[in-house]
Structure 1
Amino acid sequence: MSQEYRTTPSLTDLDDRSRMIFREIVEAYLDTGDPVGSRTLSRREGVDLSPASIRNTMSDLASIGLLTAPHQSAGRLPTHAGLRLFVDGLLQVGEPAAEDRAVIESRVAATSRSVKDVLSEASSMLAGLAGGAGLVTSPSRESPLRHVEFVPVSARETLAILVGADGTVENRMMVAPEGLPPSALVEAGNYLSARLKGRTLKEAGDEIRAELTERRAALDEAAQSLVEMGLADWSGGKDRALIIRGQAQLLDNLQAAEDLERIRMLFDEMERKEGLIALLDKAREAEGVRLFIGAENPLFSLSGSSVIVAPYMDSDRRIVGALGVIGPTRLNYARVIPMVDYTARVVGRLLDKSRS
């Protein structure tokens, strides 16, 4: 596609005819994935304009960056900026269709109560319903902690035991600094227990790092090294699972050689686990669905894909993970957006039940 304008027009910049033609072109593109020509558009129900009048308006819409032509003689496609304007200003999003709700409830709720099974089924189900790939991150630890303890396992491995304020226990293996004395394990555990008690890792992490940087922690070198390694391992999503299902869906209905090349680039982009986790975690910045179209997220700037993500929460309304769908820009946004949101609510409810 051609380079889009930096300043995207608003709907108020369009007259009634331009707005109607723009809507028809985007809806036709989302239905078929094909460029839309003026003659084809003139035959659509409700369009009472000649092909010549439509061509003039299409040219105006292209000049302000809402439409583009993949080939000189072809019809028009919405640009990424055009899709964003359509989604934000013209798309009507409601609750998922009754059939979609039934599938979500039956597929996800029918799994066993293990967290892994719930998340894996949610990812597969989203891929099947949306026609893209389903993405789900495993829950991150956001509950307050009560106690941290380090137990030596071997000369180079240490088991970190994190006890939550709610009584949950999480064990994490760590590669320990070489020659770590037993006293350093006790010292590091006591230090973290005192500063994390009643707080989450996210809440206390910056304060602990500042203490360590400014040498205010009163820890010996070995204990400080262990604390720093623990914070690094427990933050940033390195221990969290990323579940991707339905990549084969992206290969269906390829319409041209350039489509296959974009899918290849998308597969390369999906190999970057930490980047995908960071993208899904952006849903944590707002309690609702987020949509990224094309270059709006640098991770998918080459393939020009769309990503729809939503957070899932525990019973205390704390965001613990995220899920979503990735696919071509011609995703059925009106269907997929509420479907992703509904799936996030179902997953959050089921994960709470699995812990009770």
Structure 2
Amino acid sequence: MEERARLLLKTLIEHYIADGQPVGSRTLSKASGLELSAATIRNVMADLEDLGLITSPHTSAGRVPTPRGYRMFVDAMLTAQTSKQPDLLPQTLQQHIDTAPPQQVMARAAQLMSSLSQFVGVVLAPQRSAAFRHIEFLRLSEHRILLIIVSPEGDVQNRMLHWPHALSQSELNTATNYLNAHFSGMSFEQVAQKLGSEVEHLRSELVALMQAGVQAGSLALQQPQDQVVISGQQQLLGIGDLAGNLDKLRQLFDLFEQKAQLLKLMDASAKAEGVRIYIGGESEAVPFEELSVITAPYAANGKVVGTLGVIGPTRMAYDRMIQIVDITAKLVGNALSQW
């Protein structure tokens, strides 16, 4: 594609993203800064239409981008300064994630992206590991013990143990320290296999307590969890490109309700590096032509554990969405790595 065609396509898409109206030759002539006649611009637009990059709505002489046009725009013409805009996230919002316990980080991240983008925020939560990073017994009363399990991803689970033998906090600390010193990072199944042969020197009550704790911890991490956290679905009701089509809105809300397609998309994104942009209509990844999805993986302690992203109309400010998703992924990774 020659340079003037690229510039006109870029100008058309930026103009359409800004005001949502089909862009005509006169507008392009003024906005592009090219000294071209209206006839020349119309010829270039006809060529772009033949290439499938723009199309003409029936009700207007102007043109709008197609999914293929958006793809060329984001791949070859967009210059997004990812994570280099310190004012993008107010300090209070950053702290909103930084200070959250692991169980709340996902929900807060989804809410943050929805608030900043005015679209839908989605987070694929880390899959729970069968292992533990830290385990602790706390004496609540003579026969009640609180079991605290921290997974390698920072997920915290609490379980109550009703114990027939009275144990002091000092004895509970002995069990806690032994498990963490010898078995941290192992799966509960591995720990259960080793406990029987490696703790003969400890009191039988403590061995039984550790075995009960390992069993309870294993059951706790097997509990189902909401893998896809979504915030801001109602934002779609205010998007002009979608609000007028009730059938389409029902399909979109079914997508969020069932989550299977979202889970597949977000899971695939976890295997990619950096920010990815999926534009509806160009593949099966996003089943709706009117939607685009911007995703990025997030890592805890240097290991990718999940993905997050923004879902909105194809007519979105892609450079800003890329920044929102990129920075939020870094914030979530930092928050999880602190635990």
TM-score by shorter chain over 0.5: yes
Matched, 1:246 2:232: yes
- Quick one: percent identity of the two aligned structures? 39
Matched, 1:339 2:324: yes
Which position in structure 1 is the counterpart of 2:174?
Answer: none
Instruction: Provide the rounded CA distance (Å) in 2 between the counterparts of 1:23 and 1:17.
Output: 10
Instruction: Provide the rounded CA distance (Å) in 1 between the counterparts of 2:192 and 2:319.
Output: 43
Instruction: Provide the rounded CA distance (Å) in 2 between the counterparts of 1:78 and 1:62.
Output: 9
Matched, 1:80 2:67: yes
Which position in structure 1 is the counterpart of 2:12?
Answer: 25
Instruction: Provide the rounded CA distance (Å) in 1 between the counterparts of 2:238 and 2:150.
Output: 46
Picking from 291, 301, 312, the partner of 1:327 is 312
Instruction: Provide the rounded CA distance (Å) in 1 between the counterparts of 2:292 and 2:242.
Output: 19
Picking from 28, 53, 56, the partner of 2:40 is 53
Q: Secondary structure at the match of 1:300?
A: coil
Which position in structure 2 is the counterpart of 1:98?
Answer: 86
Instruction: Provide the rounded CA distance (Å) in 2 between the counterparts of 1:37 and 1:234.
Output: 58
- Asked if structure 2 preserves the Cα contact closer than 8 Å seen for 1:263 and 1:303, the reply is no
Which position in structure 1 is the counterpart of 2:22?
Answer: 35
Matches for 1:214-293 after TM superposition, within 5 Å: 239-254=225-240, 258=244, 261-293=247-279
Q: Once superposed, what is the RMSD of the aligned Cα atoms?
A: 3.4
Q: Secondary structure at the match of 2:334?
A: helix
Rg bigger for which structure?
Answer: 2
- Asked if structure 2 preserves the Cα contact closer than 8 Å seen for 1:266 and 1:300, the reply is no
Q: Secondary structure at the match of 2:52?
A: coil
User: Aligned pair in 2 of structure 1 residues 27, 327: CA closer, same or farther (>3 Å)?
Assistant: same
**Shift >4 Å, 4+ stretches:** 142-146, 161-172, 194-197, 255-261
User: Aligned pair in 2 of structure 1 residues 134, 28: CA closer, same or farther (>3 Å)?
Assistant: same
- Asked if structure 1 preserves the Cα contact closer than 8 Å seen for 2:132 and 2:149, the reply is yes
Instruction: Provide the rounded CA distance (Å) in 1 between the counterparts of 2:23 and 2:111.
Output: 32
Note the residue ranges of structure 1 that are not aligned, 5 or more in a row.
1-13, 147-160, 173-190, 198-229
Q: Secondary structure at the match of 1:40?
A: helix
Instruction: Provide the rounded CA distance (Å) in 2 between the counterparts of 1:167 and 1:340.
Output: 21
Instruction: Provide the rounded CA distance (Å) in 1 between the counterparts of 2:242 and 2:334.
Output: 42
User: Aligned pair in 2 of structure 1 residues 244, 61: CA closer, same or farther (>3 Å)?
Assistant: same
What is the CA-CA distance between 1:234 and the residue it aligns to? 6.3
Matched, 1:107 2:107: no
What is the CA-CA distance between 1:57 and the residue it aligns to? 0.6
Picking from 52, 68, 76, the partner of 2:55 is 68
Which position in structure 2 is the counterpart of 1:310?
Answer: 296
User: Aligned pair in 2 of structure 1 residues 89, 165: CA closer, same or farther (>3 Å)?
Assistant: closer
Deviations along 1:217-255, one digit per CA (max 9) or x if unpaired, are xxxxxxxxxxxxx9xx969xx633322111222222415
Instruction: Provide the rounded CA distance (Å) in 1 between the counterparts of 2:192 and 2:73.
Output: 46
- Aligned letter for 2:237? L
- Asked if structure 2 preserves the Cα contact closer than 8 Å seen for 1:133 and 1:327, the reply is yes
Deviations along 1:95-131, one digit per CA (max 9) or x if unpaired, are 3433213x2x421423553223222221111112112
- Asked if structure 1 preserves the Cα contact closer than 8 Å seen for 2:131 and 2:188, the reply is no
What is the CA-CA distance between 1:261 and the residue it aligns to? 4.8
Q: Secondary structure at the match of 1:28?
A: helix
Instruction: Provide the rounded CA distance (Å) in 1 between the counterparts of 2:23 and 2:305.
Output: 42
Instruction: Provide the rounded CA distance (Å) in 2 between the counterparts of 1:171 and 1:116.
Output: 12
Q: Secondary structure at the match of 2:294?
A: strand
Aligned length, in residue pairs: 270
- Aligned letter for 1:98? P
Instruction: Provide the rounded CA distance (Å) in 2 between the counterparts of 1:234 and 1:290.
Output: 31
**More displaced 10-residue stretch of structure 1: 293-302 or 78-87:** 293-302
- Aligned letter for 1:318? K
- Asked if structure 1 preserves the Cα contact closer than 8 Å seen for 2:29 and 2:38, the reply is yes
- Aligned letter for 1:254? G
- Aligned letter for 1:300? V
Matched, 1:352 2:333: no
Instruction: Provide the rounded CA distance (Å) in 2 between the counterparts of 1:129 and 1:341.
Output: 13
Instruction: Provide the rounded CA distance (Å) in 2 between the counterparts of 1:81 and 1:140.
Output: 34
